[in-house]
Amino acid sequence: MTSSLQDRSENWTCDAPLTLADAASLATSVHGSLILADILRSCRQSLLEHVELDRLSLLQERSRGSTATIHSIDADPEGTLIGPRVIALEDSRLKQCATDHRMRVVEIEDESSQDSVERRHLLHRGTGVAVYSPLMLRGKCKGVLVLALPKGARFTGSHMSLLAYTTEHLALALENSDMHYLECRRGRQLSMVSEIAKQAVLAEDQADFQRAATELIRISLDYLEVQIWTVSPANKGILLAARAARASRSEEAGTPAMVEECVRLQRIAANNHSKFSPDGELGSELAVPLRLRGRLLGVLFVRSDRLDAFPSEDIDTLEGTASLIASAQDNLSAFEHAQESNEYMQAILESAKNLAVLSMNIHGAVMTSSAGSERIFGLSQKEIVGKEVLTLFTDPRFRREMAVYFANPEISTLERVRLAQREEEQIVYFNVSLQRVCNPEKKPVGFLCIVQNVTENVVLEQQLKSLSITDELTGLYNRRQFFFAITAEIERCHRFGRSVSLCFFDLDRFKEYNDTHGHLLGDQALRETSQLVLSLVRSNVDTCYRYGGDEFTIIMPETTIDKALGIAERIREKLGAHFQTEITASIGIASSAEAQEAEYLVEQADRAMYAAKAFGGNRTMLADQADTADMSNKPPLTA
């Protein structure tokens, strides 16, 4: 039988609380990379400094909920990543944790007490303790962290605190990693579309173009296999025209069922959970019709060895790519030299609805534009044609870069990511790719420019960054940001020989207020406290933080302890008056001195605050007074 430690863990005390240095080190380590493998290695290395660890595993559920992806790292010196492995999420402790979002600490007596998922994927024979911890971020589960500890290893209250702090940072790091992966993928998609459009302009042979297009799609988006099928003359069947696959993948006989379905229904066919080989190989399949002016020319078929590989955004990109391929195939079959045909180029540009695709002559004047140009620049296709392309952008520096690029034939491409573009009273962001186009004799004949509006992505990333450093309830900076800010401020003070004061305060009798008036009014009291403090400190100089619960901190740069005392007293008096003494504040103040460290200053201010509370609260105490205070002779309210 297994013995769960979950019930007993609620009564554990933290025998070695997480220090400021430990917290800062762990946060820096976990957030040191946006690559999943690096994040997991750093997390494992940080945990190894505190607890014995055989294996660390990360579970992430797939969209269907019946399967999951697992990455693991064993206790080898190289920290080799095992996975990703796709498993069925059958009944197990792992599934329970992913469902109810509760931490579990389980003693494992022997291998027979392991459940099937533990035995096959998570634990070793010598595992003595298994720890399951959900990774929660803004009420959503980002995955489950599983730790396998060897027999005889201790997992104490301090380890529980460490793990709770670790999972908080790991959840945020995983979300940032996902955002980074999506942004990189969008960049590869833009480059892929740009290159296929270039090939469509320059290609003289349809078969060469099809082979190049399949290889570009496969490499750019890391697919297992990409195929282009074309409708045979007189619609008597469909033929494989081009194929690109990983070297290890053998060619299969016959037409894939998904391709036949796409041809039969004349629409996109997708399966994000497909079994496409006799040995049970799992992955995703997508078939997109190659259509032009209502006529089916063929099918673009894509296979991935990942489950859920085709979200709606990827399907939209591949649908646009299929339009480019269809346009190119139609024109290449009709014209021997399609790259010289303005009608051909316009057919390609019209297929790009979500991108501005512009062709320019050798002087940089726009000759043709896609339908998406109006959405990007706010100008009709007719208005854009004839303009110098650099006049469409508002950033002066980028205009100068474009001018240099046009004048230097040695530079083949110019790309910019998140280029700021002013539109009336707002700022939008573009990804821009410029490509020099040459004829078969390698002589430049013009340019191709592709522009994508990425404002939504930039704004979302900015919001994620703001959420990671601010407290959701009060709007103040949070404890994580406080650690970074106080360390940076102390270093600056040491460098320039200036002072900084730190104010810690705790709300007296807040629990009684919360119990009496309810949590809603309790939360409102915390918000009002935050606004009151912000109104009394120096804007753009002092910074305020919600340290946790009803504890707050204020960093006061270039402020002596006497000035800090005056500010603290005003806060204490105004706070007591605002809440009619139902809530008051116990305040501790410490000031930096030469060669002091951030951790020392935090401990001094914290100790002074607790001394003020010990003397009855509603008073301000300086750090040096806290060391000599006589508990039998209470100091006045102002210390």
What is the C-alpha to C-alpha distance for residues 236 and 256, in angstroms, rounded to an integer? Answer: 17
Residues of the chain with pLDDT under 50: 1-15, 336-341, 595, 632, 636-639
Active site residue 550: yes
Torsion angle defined by CA atoms of residues 208, 209, 214 and 218, in that order, rounded to the nearest 10 degrees: 100
Cα three-residue angle 53-57-63, rounded to 5 degrees:
165
**Whole-structure pTM over 0.85, yes or no?**
no
Span 352-454 CATH architecture: 2-Layer Sandwich (3.30)
The token pair that represents 596 in the structure block: 């002091």
CB atoms within 10 A of CB 463: 10
pLDDT at res. 346: 56
Q: Which two tokens stand for residue 199?
A: 């090939």
- Residue 244 tokens read as 């690109």
* 203-245+256-350: CATH class: alpha beta
For tokens 């945020």, the residue is: 172
Q: How far apart, in whole angstroms, are the C-alpha atoms of residue 548 and residue 481?
A: 12
**Which has the closest alpha carbon to 103: 52, 165, 30?**
165
Residues of the chain with CATH 3.30.450.40: 3-180, 203-245+256-350
Residues 6+ apart with CB under 8 A from 369: 349, 356, 357, 358, 359, 381, 384, 385
Give the CATH superfamily of 3-180. Answer: GAF domain (3.30.450.40)
Residue 501 and residue 602 in contact, taking contact as beta carbons nearer than 8 Å: no
- Give the Cβ contact number of residue 533 at 10 Å: 22
The continuous run of DSSP H or E covering 141 comes out as strand 140-150
Strand partners of residue 426: 423
76, two tokens = 């080898």
Q: What is the pLDDT of residue 576?
A: 93
pLDDT at 12 (0 to 100): 37
Angle, alpha carbons 448-369-384 (nearest 5°)? 110
Say whether the peptide bond before residue 557 is cis (omega within 30 degrees of 0). no
For 470-628, CATH number out of 3.30.70.270, 3.40.50.620, 3.10.20.30, 2.60.120.10 equals 3.30.70.270
Element (H, E) at 200: helix 157-202
**Candidates 550, 562, 606, 624; catalytic one:** 550
Q: How far apart are CA 222 and CA 25, in angstroms?
A: 35
CATH 3.30.450.20 residue ranges of the chain are 352-454
Q: Position of tokens 């979002």?
A: 101
pLDDT of res. 496: 80
pLDDT of residue 340: 47
Q: What is the pLDDT of residue 35?
A: 82
Q: Of 410, 406, 398, 409, which Cα lies nearest the Cα of 451? A: 398
